[in-house]
Amino acid sequence: MNDQTSILIIYTGGTIGMIKDQESGVLKPFNFENIYEQIPDLKQFSCNLNFHCFEPLVDSSNINPDAWIKIAEVIKENYENHDGFVILHGSDTMAYTASALSFMLENLNKPVILTGSQLPLGFLRTDGKDNLIAAIQIAAASEDETPLVPEVCIYFENELIRGNRAVKYNAENFNAFVSGNYPVLAEVGIYIKYNSEKIRKPNFKKLKIHKKLEPNVGLLKLFPGITENFFNAIINNTGTKALVMETFGSGNATTEKWFIDSMKKAIDSGLIVLNVTQCITGSVNQGQYETSIELEKIGVISGKDISTEAAITKLMFLMGKETDSKKLISLLSKSLRGELSN
């Protein structure tokens, strides 16, 4: 980091920038122009910090593909004159946004670090200040003019995680995210220790943003006792083009005849079904058990060790640009941005 380094901080909303409404007592977003009042320490950075504020600010439960496009456009517009990007975002859907951006930003050669907090900046014990300061340091870190982390990541509570591997698993602890299937990219203590071998390498190609996302994707979590009626309503929903199906353990599901028959019919009529595990760690392995062999036979695609968040956004991204189903299926099984282990 030096005086010439420039970081763009994109504030979308979320707890980090919230205050308590005096009348109702509920948390609502505050105006980011007051950031230096909230964190005077930011003035100590030797690099340039520039800000871009979403209008209106949103709780991340209201984030959607249009917001992802907006973020990607802001990054694209500011790409040449910034060395890195920090996105302040609510933690609730941060893993979805990080996953979506990882696919939408092709040939990303600069850091895009998402962070937020569990307690607002204005609170005495806030985790927001440390998260923001470390995220800026990571976004600005370089060696021989090459950024140390040229990929989309989430920084939270001393850990830097690949964005499309992150899952929010704790609604209360400061340590809210886990990367169940990929090592942490950096650990922050007295030093910032980068796990360089596991970080994606820059390819020095021109950034390309993909803005066409297919909205007609769905998610179904299986549970013991799921009824034929409920399952059919989901699987036969007209309009749905692809379904992420969260199965048990290593990709297992009921072997009931109605279940396999209905799904086969839907797949034969063109529905893409991607099998992901309900577990945070581990992989789908279709065919390991009797309860997944039929899925493999009828054309359910194994999502391997992809997270649900990455699976949904990868489908949106691929289906927005790929019409050939054979190619689509082959791309779903491959790692595009480090989202699954080949």
Which residues touch 121 (CB under 8 Å, ≥6 apart)? 16, 17, 38, 39, 128, 129, 132
Q: How far is the CB of 17 from ligand ASP (least distance, A)?
A: 9
The two structure tokens encoding residue 93: 């859907």
DSSP 39-87: -GGGGG-SSEEEEEE-SS---GGG--HHHHHHHHHHHHHHSTT-SEEEE
Rank residues 126 and 286 by Cβ distance to ligand ASP and give the closer one: 126
Number of residues that bind ligand ASP (CB under 6 A): 10
Who contacts 327 (Cβ-Cβ below 8 Å, separation ≥6)?
none
Residue with the shortest CB distance to ligand ASP: 90
Interaction of residue 179 with ligand ASP, rule CB under 6 A: no
Query: Which C-beta is closer to ligand ASP: that of 109 or that of 307?
Result: 307
Q: How far is the CB of 118 from ligand ASP (least distance, A)?
A: 6
Q: Specify the residue, 121 or 274, whose C-beta has the smaller distance to ligand ASP.
A: 121
12 is a contact residue toward ligand ASP (CB under 6 A)? no
Q: Which residues of 112-131 are buried (b: 16+ CB within 10 A; e: fewer)?
A: bbbbbbbbbbebeebbbbbb
Report the C-alpha gap between 95 and 104 in whole angstroms: 14
Q: Phi, psi at residue 15, to the nearest 5°?
A: -55, -40
- Site for ligand ASP, residues 29 to 88, rule: CB under 6 A: 59-60
CA distance 142 to 47: 13
60/102 with CB nearer ligand ASP: 60
Asked if 116 is part of the footprint of ligand ASP (rule: CB under 6 A), the reply reads yes
Q: How far is the CB of 115 from ligand ASP (least distance, A)?
A: 10
The nearest distance, CB 175 to ligand ASP, in angstroms, is: 13
Residue 17 in the binding site for ligand ASP (CB under 6 A): no
Give the shortest CB-176-to-ligand ASP separation in angstroms: 7
CB 253 within 8 A of CB 222: yes
Is there a contact between 87 and 112 (Cβ–Cβ < 8 Å)? yes
Q: Looking at 8-16, 143-151, 262-270, 295-303, which segment touches ligand ASP (CB under 6 A)? A: 8-16
Catalytic residue ranges: 15
Q: Does 14 bind ligand ASP (CB under 6 A)?
A: yes
Q: Which helix (H) or strand (E) holds 36?
A: helix 35-38
Contact positions vs ligand ASP (CB under 6 A): 13-15, 59-60, 90-92, 116, 118
